[in-house]
Amino acid sequence: MSSLRSFLLFFGAVVATLLMVSACETAPPVQEMSDARQAIAVAREAGAEAHAAEELFAAEQFLERAEQLLNEHQYHEARREALEAKARALDARRISESSEDDTGS
């Protein structure tokens, strides 16, 4: 009886662990999506449309893909795309600010 009890406790612990791990990816990446949108807006304000159009466009494409994945409940992939959108938007802002510094605008 002791071995059966040990097995049931072990099995219960494994199931609980699997549920906790799977719960990590069931939450939508709300913060990451918001961060990406804000980074794109800041890049636009910094003049990315004129000075870093390619990077800004890439950021927008990654965000659009993240939104599609979010609607499909593919949260892990949506999070990854949103993080990439934010990174591209930050690059666009950096390029824009550097370009404006070079031109003295």
Asked whether residue 57 is assigned to any structural domain, the reply reads: yes
Tens digits of per-residue pLDDT, 26-44?
A: 899 999 999 999 999 999 9
Burial of 94 (0-12, 13-18, 19+ CB in 10 A): middle
pLDDT of residue 22: 59
Asked whether residue 34 is assigned to any structural domain, the reply reads: yes
Take residue 100 and report the two structure tokens written for it. 């404006």
Asked whether residue 20 is assigned to any structural domain, the reply reads: no
Asked whether residue 40 is assigned to any structural domain, the reply reads: yes
Provide the domain count of the chain.
Answer: 1
Asked whether residue 49 is assigned to any structural domain, the reply reads: yes
* pTM, 2 dp: 0.74
Asked whether residue 3 is assigned to any structural domain, the reply reads: no
Residue 74 domain boundaries: 27-103
Tens digits of per-residue pLDDT, 1-27?
A: 578 777 777 777 777 776 665 555 689
